[in-house]
Amino acid sequence: MAKVKGAIVIDKEACKGCEVCLAACPTNVISMASEVNGKGYNFAYPELKEECTGCANCAIVCPDGVITVYRAKVEA
């Protein structure tokens, strides 16, 4: 059966570490890095990559618009 899988790209240097995207993700894909970016913020990154459905919830609430979302059908 075809399954939908998603993937996100977070612009690490543009992220301000606000954590608003974390709560928006229904499958808890996103975590905050322990290291910081050039601005000094702990940036968000997709940790549980396999769980992403490409729903774009995280991207539409990111105040800085730094998340890009992809989605593809894959054969299970």
Partner 1 sequence: MVFEDIIKTENLVYKKTSFMTDNTLSYCPGCGHGTAHRITMEVLEELGLAENTIGIAPVGCSVLAYDFMNIDMQQAAHGRAPAVATGVKRCWPDKTVFTYQGDGDLAAIGTAETIHACNRGENITIIFINNGIYGMTGGQMAPTTLPGMRSSTSPYGRDVETMGNPLRITELVAQLPGVSFVSRQAVHTPRNVRKAKKAIKTAFELQTQKKGTTFVEIVSNCNSGWKMTPVQSNQWMEENMFPFYPLGDIKVPEK
Per-residue interface string for the shown chain with ligand SF4, residues 6-45, x marking contact by CB under 6 A: x-x-x----xxxxxxx--xx-x-xx-------------x-
Instruction: Examine residue 45 and tell whether it contacts partner 1 (CB under 8 A).
Output: no
Q: Which of 8, 30, 21 is nearest to 61 (CA)?
A: 21
Q: Which two tokens stand for residue 42?
A: 């702990």
Write out the DSSP string of 4-33: EEEEEEE-TTT-----HHHHH-TT--EEEE
User: Smallest gap, in angstroms, from Cβ of residue 59 to partner 1?
Assistant: 5
Residue 36 binds which of partner 1, ligand SF4, none (CB < 5-8 A, kind-dependent): none
